[in-house]
Amino acid sequence: METIRVFAIAKIGWIRKQQAKLREQDRETSRDYVDRESHFVWGRRYLLKVVEANAAPRVQLEHGTMLLRVRPAGGHGDEGGDRLRVVSPAPTGGGRAPGRDLGTPPEG
């Protein structure tokens, strides 16, 4: 364990430089959650298909397509807000975001 600690301390300058480079990299552009928009999940590209249905919102991955099911825009005055809520990360506290059904990462 001491050997690992000494090695890490010896490389601390390089580690910090790499961290800074990662922080400065361009990040993914913001998403509009519209049909045929590209999304990456577990390193694979999926094209978004938005389906409005009177059912529980959810996200599914099917053969290169990310299927986003949302309730139709209605009287809440929240055009598109449901889409963002369905795909947003789970709240802190360990719970799962409602409707997220991305399955398991593909093998290989």
Q: What is the pLDDT of residues 8-54, one digit of tens each?
A: 999 999 999 999 998 888 777 777 888 889 888 888 999 999 999 88
Q: Are strands 65-70 and 58-62 parallel, antiparallel or unpaired?
A: antiparallel
Residue 65 in domain: yes
**Residue 92: partners with Cβ closer than 8 Å, 6 or more residues away:** none
Q: What is the mean pLDDT of the chain?
A: 77
Residue 81 in domain: no
Higher pLDDT among residues 88 and 1, named by residue: 1
Alpha-carbon distance 67 to 74, whole Å? 20
**Residue 28: partners with Cβ closer than 8 Å, 6 or more residues away:** 40
Residue 15 in domain: no
* Domain hosting residue 49, numbered range: 33-73
* Number of domains observed in the structure of the chain: 1
pTM: 0.49
Residue 47 in domain: yes
Residue 6 in domain: no
